[in-house]
Structure 1
Amino acid sequence: MKGKLTLRSLISLSFLLFFLPFLRTCSDRSIENLHSEEVSKVLVVDSANKVTKDGDTIRIFEALSKQEETKLLQQEKENRIVRIQKAKKDFTFNFYTLLLETLFKDKFDGNSFYEVSFYSSLGYFLVLISTIIMLILSFLNKIKTVQFLSLINLILLSSSTILLYFCEALEDLNQIKIGYYLVFLNFILIILFSRKVLKENQTV
């Protein structure tokens, strides 16, 4: 009985783990390329700093001093780091938001079947459906089926992630977040506890 409670708790835990950061869909290199702006030097219009007319406005253009230029460059570097960190956060999704962003946000049409990313998202969606079924079956004492579905989930998680690599949405290991590893580990624990419950049932 205790083994069954533990098993049900582990399956229920999966739905909470799905809220943790799961995957970042953009690599460090891609994000840095998106924010590769460099500070341009402010050049003197002419060496004599002549007054020039811009419509009805008279402006004097002056060169920045070396100190001001260095300060401006440093400020831009700091701003760029902030933008990169924000972009990394924006492209990091938990399991649920990953499905919403990749599978349900865009309109589904016939062309979706030709996109590798579609099958990756579909694999993650099947993991969610399978986990829901596992929870129901655990209360119906279909432990062997729960064990089998948990194994299927491990395969789906792995294959979906590999597909993301082939469609170049996943380039670095650091794009895989803590939620992914914990979900993967949790399914392994479900398999182990399912085996334990099955052995307990045989001895009864």
Structure 2
Amino acid sequence: MNNLLKRLTVISFALLFLPFFQTCSDDAIINSNWSKNSPLREAEPVTDSLHDETVGAADAKEFHLTYDELKQKKVLAIQRFIDGKAKATLSGYQLGLLAVNDFSWEFNIMFAFTIVLILCVCQLFMSFTGRYKWVFITGCCNAVLSLVPFAAAFHDGAIEDLSQIKLGFYLFYTNVLLITYVSNKLYNEAKSTHNFGEETMVK
């Protein structure tokens, strides 16, 4: 069980490299300035005066393009969307450094994650020195503090879609709960052993 706790605290650092949060929704990325004329963006319908038919704005602008040109343009738009999504997605480490690099209010709500990073370092050392009580306490703190930035972002409307919270965060949070559970169990076992030893000495 002791070795399991050590592994879990090490795993925390690996999980922090995974994507945690996308700062804006996919719709916001599609509707951003760089994709203004992109085929990905939903176009408003316009009327074809010649045939009195309603067609998409994109079709109205691009009917003169060849198939290959249109295909190339759409591939480029998709690639720009993927690049924009990647730039908007932050890992656990990047979230923790936001408040350090930028002191604006929207990034200061991420300061809780800066504390989480510090506590993860403390947990690593304490797990290898057998300080299970403090590993449990820091685990409880991490469980609460990890939720604070997302709760604040949701309250401020920065989270428009739950898909903005990425798999990396869920894995990290599960690991935090496991660390808390295992450290509490080890602490109770050590406490029971200590009490049993004292009772034996009294007898």
Cα distance in structure 1, aligned partners of 2:91 and 2:161: 17
Structural RMSD (CA): 2.4
Q: Name the SS for the 2:20 alignment partner.
A: strand
Equivalent residue pairs, number: 170
- Which one has a bigger Cα radius of gyration? 1
1:201 aligns with 2:170: no
Deviation at 1:71, TM superposition (A): 5.5
Deviation at 1:66, TM superposition (A): 4.9
The aligned counterpart of 2:108 is 118
Q: What is the identity percentage for the equivalent residue pairs of Structure 1 and Structure 2?
A: 32
Deviation at 1:67, TM superposition (A): 6.3
The aligned counterpart of 1:78 is 75
Structure 2 letter corresponding to 1:179: G
The aligned counterpart of 1:162 is 151
Unaligned residue ranges in structure 1 (runs of 5+)? 40-63
Higher relative contact order structure (alpha carbons within 8 Å, sequence separation ≥ 6): 1
1:128-147 alignment runs, 5 A limit: 128-147=117-136
Deviation at 1:190, TM superposition (A): 0.6
Structure 1 letter corresponding to 2:166: K
Q: Is the 8 A contact 1:12 1:135 kept in 2?
A: yes
Q: Is the 8 A contact 1:22 1:179 kept in 2?
A: yes
Moved over 6 A (4+): none
The aligned counterpart of 1:91 is 88
Give the TM-score taking structure 1 as reference length. Answer: 0.73
Unaligned residue ranges in structure 2 (runs of 5+)? 40-60, 194-203
Cα distance in structure 2, aligned partners of 1:140 and 1:157: 25
Cα distance in structure 1, aligned partners of 2:128 and 2:62: 74
Q: Decide whether aligned partners of structure 1 residues 66 and 99 sit closer, same or farther in structure 2, where only a CA change above 3 A counts.
A: same
Deviation at 1:70, TM superposition (A): 6.0
Q: Name the SS for the 1:68 alignment partner.
A: coil
Give the TM-score taking structure 2 as reference length. Answer: 0.73
Cα distance in structure 2, aligned partners of 1:131 and 1:65: 53
Cα distance in structure 2, aligned partners of 1:66 and 1:122: 50
Q: Decide whether aligned partners of structure 1 residues 195 and 76 sit closer, same or farther in structure 2, where only a CA change above 3 A counts.
A: same
Deviation at 1:65, TM superposition (A): 9.8
1:189 aligns with 2:185: no
Cα distance in structure 1, aligned partners of 2:99 and 2:2: 34
Q: Name the SS for the 1:31 alignment partner.
A: helix
The aligned counterpart of 1:36 is 36
